Amino acid sequence: MMSNPAPTPRITCFVSRPFSENTYLVHLADSTRCVVVDPGFESEQLLEKIAMLRLTPVAILCTHGHLDHIAGNEAVKSCWPDCPIVIGKGDAFKLRDTFANLSQPYGFDLRSPPADREVSEGEIVSAAGIDFEVRETPGHSAGHVIYVVRQARPGVVLGGDVLFASGVGRWDTPDGSWEELEASIRDKIFNLPDDTIVYPGHGETTTVGDEKRFNPYVGAAARR
């Protein structure tokens, strides 16, 4: 059965200050069920925002296991215990490993509840009436994944720390790699339609087309 193209989900951004990390609340216009992507620090304010919008989280999707993208997992999970925590299989251990999630280097011990579901390339996570396609995108964190909503017009990428507006994720992390990061962007993001909207883990929203043309690291301007 072919599914009809669905409307682009509504996406609200909540920025937590310590790392200027973007948490996204994703839901369909006619539903109060939402997905929380990368719950970060300042979780009390995040919970207030969710209450203000009268949304009910039904899943937590993490792009990767770094502290600023998982710090709010526990708060969301304790309010909505049925919310599964979803993360790429290669980064799931970072939820519990304070060295690997980089909290120890920043001077504290941050542990998230463990993963409820570990996902791999090509899997679909269906939550809040939305299908999220998982793509593995190593380079910033070895088990990093992005979540693509292809049914939407325009399409949506919840992209974490891979591709930013005029930038890319750091690759000087313990398991980072420039070659892998570049390949992830070219093979997993730049093959999406130009009008696809990228919601990154830090900074402003952008589109695939704009970054293909203008991104100083991986865009046309970067090629010699």
Residue number of the CB atom closest to Zn ion? 66
Q: Which stretch binds Zn ion (CB under 5 A): 1-9, 62-70, 71-79, 92-100?
A: 62-70
Smallest gap from Cβ 139 to Zn ion, in A, equals: 11
Count residues near Zn ion (CB under 5 A). Answer: 2
The answer to whether 161 contacts Zn ion (rule: CB under 5 A) is: yes
Residue from 66, 77, 94, 188 touching Zn ion (CB under 5 A): that is: 66
Long-range contacts: 91-98, Cβ < 8 Å, 24+? 91/62, 91/64, 91/65, 91/141, 91/142, 91/143, 91/144, 91/145, 92/65, 92/118, 92/143, 93/65, 94/64, 94/65, 94/66, 94/70, 94/141, 94/143, 95/62, 95/65, 95/70, 97/65
Which is closer to Zn ion, CB of 118 or CB of 161?
A: 161
Smallest gap from Cβ 202 to Zn ion, in A, equals: 9
Smallest gap from Cβ 140 to Zn ion, in A, equals: 6
Residues 33/128, Cβ–Cβ less than 8 Å: yes
Residue numbers of the site for Zn ion (CB under 5 A)? 66, 161
